[in-house]
Amino acid sequence: MVNQKAPSTDARACLAALRKALPDDALLTEAEALRAYECDALSAYRALPLAVALPHDRAQVRAVLRIAREHAVPVVARGAGTGLSGGALPHPQGIVLSLARLDRILEIDPRNRTARVEPGVRNLAISEAARPYGLHYAPDPSSQIACTIGGNIAENAGGVHCLKHGLTVHNVLRIEAITLSGETLVAGGAGLDGPGYDLAALLTGSEGLLAVVVEATVRLLPLPESARVLLAAFATVEAAADAVAAIIAEGIVPAGLEMMDNPAIRAAEDFVHAGYPVEAAAILLCELDGAVAEVEAELARVRAVLERHGATEVRVARDEAERQRFWKGRKAAFPAVGRISPDYYCMDGTIPRREVGRVLARIAGLAREHGLRVVNVFHAGDGNLHPLILYDANAPGELERTEALGRRILELCVEVGGTVTGEHGVGVEKLDPMCRQFDEATLRQFHALREAFDPERLLNPGKAVPTLARCAEYNAMHVRAGRLPFPELERF
């Protein structure tokens, strides 16, 4: 918990200006009202903001940014608060800018297969609005019932169906955003390619450090003629991991290819009753979509691959209801794990698919070293791991051990050629592992890019990109026998 200090003179002046510029219902300053905004879904870190602004339109968003800049007060943009890296953690002397009230679907264009939406629109609501036209929005995070498109853009969110259809960055065509200086930035366009630099891709995944999104045009895809799911059970995690690599090597690109280990299987089954085989060491869920004939042919090919790699059971969902149950269990895995542990810490790293089996074995060893349990649920098709570290925040030292284990897992991802995040962003959680991922020259470019948009560094300060001083200190602490664990970072 970050202690809240008394507001500075500039902060008090900022609050006074905001009260004049915003309606009475658009500014929260009472401690109890602020408490609902003290963290995102990564609740290990908390801080009360100075105030929360809840603008009704983009003119009020611009006013908040203008006033904050005039008084040098930090601004943290926030969507639904479902993030898992502390990206929406408030600044104790700053303003939380909630985009929740900008929640209109402005247009569904079935001819061009696009939707134009405000940032507070829920992910699932886009597909619900597009369904009458036979269309849907492909990225589907597990939190899609609650998460918003603005937050999805900030974190470049993924989901269980992104292996084939792409992440948020592949499905956002145009972004309108407001910079801290109050300028409206239009990035991208409605066509396949826009002129100039791809600023829409730059803003996607920028974690609120560059500008505040106020509108997005997203790509809609036709609902598939057929969608079928196979569930395969395995006696070992390594066998399941090998099967994943074999499916992709076969030239098949499933709509989704997910993996759960035994603790995750049991937790999800107890919670959702999806029909999972609870004795399996691991299961794969493989969804294929497209034309009926194409899907049927690929089902046979995938089944053969799974059996060839030691699947003890292969089951195809009998109907749409069973297909939905299979996915409900996977998407409910995080809350399901919350029923078996007082707290859990969700990590997010990506590794080459060929390393999945070896990395999971090493994670198990690291968990034993730290005296903690780890449950694995992840997007196996693209190597995006989500180890859930189980702990009790009320037990002395457990949070610290959990954080240490989490950092070691992310360092392991880098060690095998992966990255420290796949879709949850860096936020405050992964600043130290970022020091292992990138060298000094690259980090300097990240900072230079940010300053081109926000010279005062008032937008979401302290997130996403570590300072060079922090990295120098962190890496110095990890020098072993005069050498850093990762030689490519020695010059840093």
390 located within any domain: no
Q: Is there a single domain that holds both residue 279 and residue 311?
A: yes
Q: Name the percent of the chain lying above pLDDT 90.
A: 89
Whose tokens are 């998407």? That residue is 331
Given 161, 196, 222, which residue is the final one in a domain? 222
Confidence of residue 10 (pLDDT cuts 50, 70, 90): confident
Tokens of 238: 């390594």
Tokens of 337: 């794990």
Tell me the average pLDDT across 207-229.
97
Report how far residue 226's alpha carbon sits from residue 299's, in angstroms, rounded to the nearest whole number.
12
**Which domain CATH number covers 298?**
3.30.70.2190
Q: What is the pLDDT of residue 251?
A: 94
pLDDT exceeds 70 at position 461: yes
Q: Is there a single domain that holds both residue 83 and residue 69?
A: yes
Confidence of residue 2 (pLDDT cuts 50, 70, 90): low
| Tens-place pLDDT, residues 54-70 | 999 999 999 999 999 99
Q: Is there a single domain that holds both residue 168 and residue 93?
A: no
pLDDT exceeds 90 at position 375: yes
Residue scoring higher pLDDT (239 or 195) = 239
**Which domain CATH number covers 59?**
3.30.43.10
**Which domain CATH number covers 168?**
3.30.465.10
Q: Name the percent of the chain lying above pLDDT 70.
A: 95
Q: Is there a single domain that holds both residue 243 and residue 272?
A: yes
Confidence of residue 4 (pLDDT cuts 50, 70, 90): low
pLDDT exceeds 70 at position 92: yes
Using CB atoms within 10 Å of the CB of residue 283, give its burial: 0 to 12 exposed, 13 to 18 middle, 19+ buried: buried
Question: How many domains does the chain fold into?
Answer: 3
344 located within any domain: no
132 located within any domain: yes
317 located within any domain: yes
Q: Please answer whether residues 172 and 220 qualify as being in contact, where contact means their C-beta atoms are separated by less than 8 angstroms.
A: no
Q: Is 256 helix (H, G, I), strand (E, B) or coil?
A: strand
Q: Calculate the CA dihedral of residues 133, 138, 141, 142 and round it to 10 degrees.
A: 60
Given 187, 222, 257, which residue is the final one in a domain? 222
Least confident of 144-148, 226-230, 471-475: 471-475
Tell me the average pLDDT across 454-472.
95
Contacts of residue 403, Cβ cutoff 8 Å, sequence gap at least 6: 44, 345
Q: Is there a single domain that holds both residue 115 and residue 211?
A: yes
Confidence of residue 479 (pLDDT cuts 50, 70, 90): low
Given 222, 240, 269, which residue is the final one in a domain? 222
Q: Is there a single domain that holds both residue 146 and residue 236?
A: no
Confidence of residue 475 (pLDDT cuts 50, 70, 90): confident
Domain that holds residue 321: 226-336
Confidence of residue 492 (pLDDT cuts 50, 70, 90): very low
Report how far residue 374's alpha carbon sits from residue 364's, in angstroms, rounded to the nearest whole number.
7
Q: Is there a single domain that holds both residue 131 and residue 218?
A: yes
Q: What is the pLDDT of residue 196?
A: 83
Report how far residue 386's alpha carbon sits from residue 363's, in angstroms, rounded to the nearest whole number.
11
pLDDT exceeds 50 at position 447: yes
> 352, 354, 254: which is closest to 303 by C-alpha?
254
Q: What is the pLDDT of residue 193?
A: 73
Contacts of residue 75, Cβ cutoff 8 Å, sequence gap at least 6: 64, 65, 68, 94, 95, 96, 97, 180, 212, 458, 459, 460
Q: Is there a single domain that holds both residue 230 and residue 218?
A: no
Q: Is there a single domain that holds both residue 119 and residue 194?
A: yes
| Tens-place pLDDT, residues 340-358 | 999 999 999 999 988 998 9
420 located within any domain: no
Q: Is there a single domain that holds both residue 169 and residue 272?
A: no
Task: State the chain's maximal CA–CA distance in angstroms.
Answer: 69
Q: Is there a single domain that holds both residue 86 and residue 130?
A: no
Q: What is the pLDDT of residue 481?
A: 40
86 located within any domain: yes
Tell me the average pLDDT across 430-435.
94
Confidence of residue 285 (pLDDT cuts 50, 70, 90): very high
What mean pLDDT, rounded, does the chain reach? Answer: 93
Q: Is there a single domain that holds both residue 244 and residue 281?
A: yes
Contacts of residue 170, Cβ cutoff 8 Å, sequence gap at least 6: 219
147 located within any domain: yes
363 located within any domain: no
pLDDT exceeds 60 at position 484: no
